[in-house]
């Protein structure tokens, strides 16, 4: 039996009233973060600012194609970036652009929209504040002074998806990479997003739809 609290931190929005026990509610939307909501992959963006772009790009490409399991890849990428101070990483992350149509859809449907990402809770805290919806993330261990000492849990997207299915009658998953396949496997509807780059065949094969950009994606979401 899956227990989401073992694998992910749930970060609720300030105005999120949450689910009513025993009552499911309509359709929920689970979004990947990098390359779906954001117009850049966050870890390569951070690495570029830190002069580690080549190493991070290779790991990201291998992960997106499914050649390295996400958890192994994330631990390697975390090891590369952990020496950077948290304030610096949050400053870099806070500058990322959102797809404006997807951002608007989430803001208008905050009680039904969720972000399911392997990124670290502390690193993406500025984006949680900007979007204001509930996030499922990987989590870190820290010292009293806030310095990140290691990984606590690495997100398993199917676990977050199963938790959301307990809350909603129907779950729609939106993502762009191989690591979104576990989320699509448990969702009722999967939408492969190709706004930043092409979705891998493995994701397309388990998708019901393919959306080319934010506008067409949100038109589709409004019909579901």
pLDDT tens-digit readout, 208-221: 999 999 999 999 99
Instruction: Quickly state the pLDDT bin for 145 (edges 50, 70, 90).
Output: low
The pTM of this model reads: 0.86
Q: Where are the beta strands (DSSP E) in the chain?
A: 9-11, 27-31, 113-120, 134-142, 148-153, 170-175, 189-193, 209-211
For 151-178, write each residue's pLDDT tens digit: 899 999 999 999 999 999 999 999 999 9
Spatial separation of the C-alpha atoms in residues 83 and 38, rounded to whole Å: 24
What's the N-to-C CA distance of the chain in angstroms?
29
Question: Which of the given ranges, 30-39, 44-53, 65-74, has the highest pLDDT on average?
Answer: 30-39
Backbone angles phi, psi at 137, to 5 degrees: -140, 170
Asked whether residue 2 carries a pLDDT value surpassing 50, the answer given is: no
């Amino acid at each position: 039996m899956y227990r989401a609290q073992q694998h992910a931190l749930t970060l609720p929005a300030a105005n999120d009233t949450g689910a009513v026990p025993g009552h499911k509610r309509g359709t929920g939307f689970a979004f990947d973060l990098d390359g779906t909501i954001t117009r850049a992959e966050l870890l390569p963006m951070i690495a570029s600012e830190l002069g580690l772009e080549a190493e991070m790009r290779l790991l990201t490409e291998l992960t997106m194609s499914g050649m390295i399991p996400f958890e192994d890849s994330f631990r390697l990428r975390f090891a590369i970036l952990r020496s950077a101070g948290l304030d610096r990483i949050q400053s870099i992350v806070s500058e990322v652009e959102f797809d404006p149509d997807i951002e608007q859809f989430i803001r208008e449907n905050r009680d039904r929209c969720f972000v399911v990402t392997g990124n670290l809770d502390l690193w993406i805290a500025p984006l949680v504040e900007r979007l204001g919806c509930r996030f499922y993330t990987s989590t870190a261990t820290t010292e009293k002074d806030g310095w990140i000492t290691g990984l606590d849990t690495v997100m398993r997207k199917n676990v977050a998806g199963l938790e959301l299915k307990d809350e909603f009658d129907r779950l729609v998953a939106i993502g762009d990479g191989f690591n979104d396949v576990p989320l699509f496997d448990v969702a009722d509807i999967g939408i492969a997003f190709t706004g930043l780059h092409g979705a891998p065949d493995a994701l397309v094969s388990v998708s019901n739809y393919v959306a080319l950009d934010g506008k067409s994606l949100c038109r589709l979401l409004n019909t579901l």
